[in-house]
Structure 1
Amino acid sequence: MMTIKNEVVIKNHRSNYPNPITLVEGQRVKIGELYVHELNGWSWCELESTGECGWIPNECLSTER
């Protein structure tokens, strides 16, 4: 079973890849521990509102309070 970690977007982000995930400050995202890549500073996220998924720079995320 995968543990899900909730995060809050603190910085807008738009990917350069096809069908990118777009983040807006204040949105909630889910991050699965199996997808967190601490070494390169990016995490695989899913937007709670739309289900869109994609790689997000960790600098755009903050632990949910």
Structure 2
Amino acid sequence: MNYVVTKPHRSEYPNPIRLNKGDSFVIGEKDQGPEGWDDWFFCTAPGQAGGWVPLQVIERLADGTGRALEDYTARELDVDIGEMLIGFRTLNGWVWCERLSRDEAGWVPLRNLEADGG
């Protein structure tokens, strides 16, 4: 789906967590912020800064850790009003988007986007 950015977004995480399918990691706190982004967990993996991981890519293990069900990166895309994006996947209030003007991709809050019918 095509989107136009209606509100700018800047990432607060310059070094996003990256997981490969099968990687183990520690599952931390669930997001409880006022934004209402359900089912995101702050996770840590060896040698990386922590980052937010959606429940859909987490296999919960008995010892409280998790295993990645698929390749995943928490990379967020910095965007400005009026930019055109292609959205590929929506999870828990965020959309994995690719910028039309450059070869860049990352997560953008859905509330910052409007579907573009053109």
TM-score of the alignment, normalized to the shorter chain, above 0.5: yes
Please say which structure displays the higher CA radius of gyration. 2
RMSD over aligned CA atoms reads 1.4
Shift of 1:16: 1.7
Tell me the number of residue pairs that the alignment of Structure 1 and Structure 2 aligns. 57
Length-normalised TM-score, structure 1: 0.77
State which of 10, 29, 33 in structure 2 corresponds to 1:14: 10
Superposed displacement of residue 50, structure 1: 0.8
TM-score, length-scaled by structure 2 = 0.45
In structure 2, runs of 5+ residues without a counterpart are 16-75
Q: Which runs of 5+ in 1 are unaligned?
A: none
Q: Which residue does 1:54 correspond to in 2?
A: 106
Query: How far apart, in 2, do the equivalents of 1:42 and 1:28 lie?
Result: 16
1:28 counterpart letter in structure 2: M
How far off is 1:21 after superposition?
2.1
